[in-house]
Amino acid sequence: MFNNEKFFWSPAARWEKKDGQVKIEVFCYKDYIVELFPEFYFFTQKGVYVNDLIDKFPKYDKDRLKSFIQDLIRKKILVDSPLIPHELFYSGNYLFQNKHSENIKYDKLEFENFKSMQLNRNYKTPKGLKINLYSDEQYPYCISERKTCRSFNTNEIISFEVFSKLIAVFRQRRINGQIKYYYASAGGLYPIDIYIYIKEKRVENLKQGLYYYSPLDNSINIVDECCHVNKNAHYFMNQSIFNQSAFSIFFIYNMEVTMPKYGGIGYLYSCIDIGIMVSSLTFVAGLYNIGLCSIGDMNFHKIEKYFQLNKNQVYIHTVELGLKLED
Ligand SMILES: Cc1cc2nc3c(=O)[nH]c(=O)nc-3n(C[C@H](O)[C@H](O)[C@H](O)COP(=O)(O)O)c2cc1C
């Protein structure tokens, strides 16, 4: 059982002994499990094979210990790979000492006031030390007119040519024997795997389904023809965007590509890579009348099965795209 990999106590899981129980985040355990702590935590914090962990507690029934361990693995309290972003950044929820009202999350007016305050923040410059810059820059249309699109033209189909030209922003080229991309990536390693979900009759020549985009030969490869993404994969606020979009792009960080070189900080670089990718995509989309909307978070677990990811591939970001509506 799970014995080929070391398991670690998830850095995202806090535990305490309280009222005769062990409470691990929202889960409570009692009876013999209480006696296992804190040693159980110390062993798993450093990483341990399941059989070795069981051997550390010879006094206890092996099968019961096994089922406890299995339960912790299922709940992702014991993990054998880096955390997903939700777990990784979870500590920010309690380490950040929030001085603002919780209402800004739910009350539109309070949020608008809060947003206005944030967007008007400034540096308190002592007199005479402020230097105003020229403000007459003239950027190309695809930059100056950029804006998020949340409604798309659902009556017309995107031509195969436009779709190809758009996605080609992620392709690999060989120039004088050197591999080049249109965007930057830490170490030139390009760890982001790109998956595209295309809806029925929205892109010329392409059937509905989930595809893997190969930057190597600029092709899309069917992953699952039967993949059907339901609007419930999205939070309520984003469902109408998804309902209208022609296709979705999913950005998946493949840790095997950069963690051997960068270790854990490769995770941060991958998020920066994705930001640059979305930015490049945005400008190219502007050239071809395609609009897009970044989706910060979704119920990815509802569709994860279609992707057949391995444990070192982690979902980071989604972008919904479609033909722009006339202004
Ligand atoms: C990381 C990220 C996540 C976002 N998530 C959402 C989202 O879930 N839903 C949405 O409607 N817009 C989303 N947006 C778009 C922002 O709301 C939008 O960029 C912002 O309001 C500024 O508007 P503009 O892009 O039209 O200038 C996201 C943008 C980014 C960069």
How much distance in Å is there from the Cα of 294 to the middle of ligand 1?
6
Q: Which amino acid is at 114?
A: F
Mutate to test the pocket of ligand 1, among 108, 112, 146, 148 (most ligand atoms within 8 A of CB): 148
How much distance in Å is there from the Cα of 319 to the middle of ligand 1?
10
| Token pair of 43 as six digits | 């062993």
CA distance 132 to 130: 6
Bridge-partner residues for 211, per DSSP?
196, 222
Mutate to test the pocket of ligand 1, among 294, 315, 320, 324 (most ligand atoms within 8 A of CB): 294
How much distance in Å is there from the Cα of 52 to the middle of ligand 1?
47
Q: Which amino acid is at 67?
A: S
- Cα-Cα-Cα-Cα torsion 96, 75, 303, 153, nearest 10 degrees, comes to -20
Sheet strands (E) in the chain: 8-9, 15-18, 21-24, 27-29, 78-79, 172-175, 178-181, 192-198, 209-214, 219-224, 247-254, 290-295, 313-323
Per-residue pLDDT 10s for the chain (327 aa) are 567 899 999 999 999 999 999 999 999 999 999 999 999 999 999 999 999 999 999 999 999 999 999 999 999 999 999 999 999 999 999 999 999 999 999 999 999 999 999 999 999 998 889 999 999 999 999 999 999 999 999 999 999 999 999 999 999 999 999 999 999 999 999 999 999 999 999 999 999 999 999 999 999 999 999 999 999 999 999 999 999 999 999 999 999 999 999 999 999 999 999 999 999 999 999 999 999 999 999 999 999 999 999 999 999 999 999 999 987
How much distance in Å is there from the Cα of 115 to the middle of ligand 1?
14
295 touches ligand 1 (CB under 6 Å): yes
| Token pair of 61 as six digits | 């029934």
How much distance in Å is there from the Cα of 292 to the middle of ligand 1?
10
Domains and CATH numbers, the chain: 8-80 (no CATH), 141-323 (3.40.109.10)
Task: For tokens 């790979």, name the residue.
Answer: 81
Which residue's CA lies nearest to atom 15 of ligand 1?
Answer: 294
